[in-house]
Amino acid sequence: MGGGEIRENLQWVRERISRAAVRSGRRPEEIRLVAVTKTVDPQRVAQAAEAGVEIFGENYVQEARAKKEALGRTACWHMIGHLQSNKARIAVDLFDAVETVDREKVLLELDRHARQVEKVLSILIQVNLSGEPTKSGAERGRALELIQRAAACANLRCQGLMTIPPFYDEPEKARPFFAALRELRDGLRPLVPSGVGLDALSMGMSGDFEVAIEEGATHVRIGTAIFGKRG
């Protein structure tokens, strides 16, 4: 797929983001597009940046480095894959935000390495709302504790929550999970230490991002609808 096609896909995705925002009474600018680059080669990532993508999401720390270098321009990089604590140092080096913090050990390692390089790292707490044991993410009952731990870390800024619902062919089936993340966030707001922002809700992928926006998504993570099917 060439640059022209990526540009067209992006235009169509942006159009759909806008329409979903407007029909749910929101401003399109409230929703940030995170273009997901897993398995996409660096050249096509660069084409997406030329077409105006400002935030990229990558699942694999090893892949992020080559893609960042290929861009030749500044972009914001979000880690959206499962993060092992032994990769925390490299994640701090490569990413502006880690969306998949789901346990204390990772949180403390990220803070430690961020302090060493005098960087403030944005994080989201990933919550597993389906209870599927194969999915990563903290149980919903543990989100508050993780947010409180993050608030005590000088080099982390907790910005909100992230979730990946179970896979469905039918986007409406994911709606209860998106609504649940918003409700969890709203319930946590009065409980978190002052100064902690919980505005961000990262939810929705190519198959269901419009539903996620209707339920309050601030970040949608979209790969296939921009870059085509992964080989």
Ligand X SMILES: *Cc1c(COP(=O)(O)O)cnc(C)c1O
The binder of ligand X chosen from 49, 147, 161, 164 (CB under 6 A): 164
Site for ligand X in 1-30 (CB under 6 A): none
Q: Which of 36, 107, 180, 184 binds ligand X (CB under 6 A)?
A: 36
- Taking residues 65 to 104 in sequence order and writing x for each that binds ligand X by CB under 6 A, - otherwise, the string is ---------------x------------------------
User: Among candidates 80, 130, 128, which has minimal Cα distance to 100?
Assistant: 80
Please tell me whether residue 44 binds ligand X under the rule CB under 6 A: no
Measure the CA–CA gap between 121 and 155, rounded to whole angstroms.
6
Determine which residue in the list 205, 212, 213, 217 makes contact with ligand X, applying CB under 6 A.
Answer: 205
- Strands (DSSP E) contained in 37-171 are 55-58, 76-79, 97-101, 121-128, 138-139, 156-162
Alpha-carbon separation of residue 90 from 6, 48, 61, 131, 142 (angstroms): 29, 24, 7, 29, 26
Q: Does 206 bind ligand X (CB under 6 A)?
A: yes
Q: Total number of residues binding ligand X (CB under 6 A)?
A: 13
Could you give the CA distance from residue 124 to residue 150 in angstroms, rounded to a whole number?
10
Applying CB under 6 A, which residues contact ligand X? 36, 38, 59, 80, 164, 205-207, 221-225
